[in-house]
Amino acid sequence: MIRTVNVTRYVTPLREGGSLPAIVEADDDGLYVLKFRGAGQGPRALIAELVAGEIGRLLGLPVPEIVFARLDGAIGRNEPDFEIKDLIHASVGLNLGMDFLPGALPFDPAAAQRVEADLASAIVWFDAYITNVDRTARNTNMLWWHKQLYLIDHGAALYFHHNWGEPRIQARAPFRPIKDHVLLPYASRLRAADETLPPRLASYVLAAILEQIPDEWLIAHPGFEDAAAQRAGYLEYLLARLEAPRLFVEEALHAHAQSLL
């Protein structure tokens, strides 16, 4: 189960993020990178962050702990920056936080940092499965911390939910952006990843992850009569994507071969 913490102090904004995330302190004395529900990308970005991050953890990938972060409007009372103050007021209630990794360094594909083939292949498989467009050389969304690679920022994943259609049909769509994945040249074990990772994503464990999405984050949609039906739509999508033949794997294999030419 995802823990819930209460934000006690706004520390500093992280202005490199498009949605203006921030470092905050919580009542467990921990520091977290807070993603605001009231940011321009809205609650769907938080849903993608939660679902993708927990799937990554389920697959054994290094994802910082995710928490629900309850925000009180009083936190922004003395904030001099009007943009930040408005964002806090628009996000009162439940938001999403990720464990802050102090001193972490961004992954630099131009530096002499290599990623082992098994890990690189698992990450490429994972990002292709969740349709994560945001792990490129331009924006790697990976950090080195204590000599270990960590995956961050999955708010751009699961982009099908920005334009709901038939989940099963959307799940079988190609994922061309995988050709731009920063770890693709190292992903020589994609076949092995495709054998070991899918069995970990049983229907009941995916359903358990989706059950944790707060009802208030599920934006009303005419295709779903209630929050439970919308969660079922997510589950239908995630399960259909795992059905053989897994087109996203074949696409990633082809892109990997092309990256070596």
Round to whole Å and give the CA distance between 133 and 45. 13
Q: DSSP states of 164-223 as a string? A: ---HHHHHTS--GGGGGBTTGGG-TTHHHHHHHSGGG--HHHHHHHHHTS-GGGS---TT
- Boundary residue ending a domain (67, 99, 131): 99
Beta bridge partners of 70: 6, 94
Is the same domain home to 89 and 110? no
Identify the domain boundary among 99, 126, 148. 99
Alpha helices (runs of H) in 63-179, residue ranges in sequence order: 82-90, 117-129, 167-171
How confident is the model at residue 261, as a pLDDT?
84
Reported as a single tens digit per residue, the pLDDT across 83-119 is 999 999 999 999 999 999 999 999 998 886 789 999 9
121 and 95 in a common domain: no
pLDDT for the residue numbered 110? 86
Q: If 0-12 CB within 10 Å is exposed, 13-18 middle and 19+ buried, where does residue 31 land?
A: middle
Question: 235 and 211 in contact (C-beta within 8 Å)?
Answer: no
Sign of CA dihedral 247, 149, 11, 81: negative
Specify the pTM. Answer: 0.96
Strand order of the sheet with strand 148-151? 105-106, 142-145, 148-151
Say yes or no: 14 and 78 in one domain. Answer: yes
Which domain, by its residues, includes 183? 105-259
Of the candidates 87, 93, 45, 44, the one whose C-alpha atom is nearest the C-alpha of residue 68 is 93
Same domain? 158 vs 94: no
Q: Give the chain's mean pLDDT.
A: 95
Answer with the one of 64, 99, 134 that is the final residue of a domain.
Answer: 99
Do 59 and 137 have their domain in common?
A: no
Q: Which regions in the chain score pLDDT beneath 70?
A: 16-18, 112
For the chain, helix (H) and strand (E) counts, in that order, are 8, 8
In this structure, are 168 and 85 located in the same domain?
Answer: no
Q: What are phi and psi of 106, to 5 degrees?
A: -65, 145
| Residues 89, 126 within the same domain | no
Quote the pLDDT of residue 78.
Answer: 84
Pairing assessment for the beta strands 4-13 and 66-71 based on DSSP bridges: parallel
Instruction: Let me know whether 86 and 114 are in one domain.
Output: no
Rounded CA-CA distance 159/148 in Å is: 28
Judge if 114 and 86 occupy the same domain: no
170 and 254 part of one domain: yes
pLDDT of the residue at 112: 64
Bond into 245 cis (ω within 30): yes
Query: Which single residue is written with the structure tokens 């819930």?
Result: 4
CA distances from 195 to 56, 77, 121, 172, 198 (A): 16, 52, 12, 19, 7
Shared domain for 44 and 145, answered yes or no, is: no
**218-to-46, 207, 210, 225 alpha-carbon distances in Å:** 10, 15, 11, 12
Q: How many domains does the chain have?
A: 2
The one-letter code for the residue type at 242 is: L
